C-alpha cells in the first residue's frame, strides 16, 4: 500500500537519515531531489527548534521599505474621505 507523506514528514525522514543513520548529505539530497544546502538547512532547523521548524513558512516580507506607519495611513485615508478629488473627472460625477 502506497502512503503519501506530508512535507514535514518527508523532511523529518531526510533529517533522521542524516542524524541517526549517518547517511551522507549528498545521498540524502539526491534521494529527496533537493540541494545539499537544503538538507543542511533542514538539519540546522531541526536541531535548533525541533519538528515544527520543518514546516513551510511564508516568504512574505515582514516589513516593506516604503510602508507607512498605521497612524499616518489612517490620517491619509481620513483626508481622502473628507476632501474628494478635484478635476474634470470629479466634475462629471
Give per-residue pLDDT as tens, 6-42. 899 999 999 999 999 999 999 999 999 999 999 999 9
Residue 93 has pLDDT above 60, yes or no: no
Residue 91 has pLDDT above 70, yes or no: no
Tell me which of 80 and 91 has the higher pLDDT.
Answer: 80
Taking residues 53-68, what's their average pLDDT?
A: 87
**39-43, long-range: CB < 8 A, 24+ apart:** 39/14, 39/15, 42/11, 42/14, 42/15, 43/15, 43/18, 43/19
Q: State what percent of residues in the chain have pLDDT above 90.
A: 61
Domain extents in the chain: 7-54
pLDDT band at 90 (very low <50, low <70, confident <90, very high): low
| pLDDT at residue 3 in the model | 73
Cα 74 to Cα 71: distance, rounded to the nearest angstrom: 5
Amino acid at each position: 500500500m502506497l502512503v503519501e507523506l506530508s512535507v514535514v514528514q518527508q523532511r523529518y525522514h531526510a533529517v533522521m537519515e542524516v542524524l541517526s543513520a549517518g547517511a551522507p548529505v549528498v545521498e540524502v539530497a539526491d534521494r529527496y531531489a533537493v540541494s545539499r544546502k537544503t538538507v543542511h538547512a533542514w538539519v540546522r532547523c531541526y536541531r535548533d527548534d525541533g519538528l515544527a521548524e520543518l514546516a513551510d513558512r511564508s516568504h512574505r516580507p515582514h516589513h516593506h521599505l516604503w510602508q507607512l506607519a498605521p497612524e499616518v495611513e489612517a490620517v491619509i485615508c481620513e483626508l481622502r474621505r473628507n476632501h474628494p478629488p478635484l478635476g474634470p473627472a470629479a466634475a462629471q460625477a
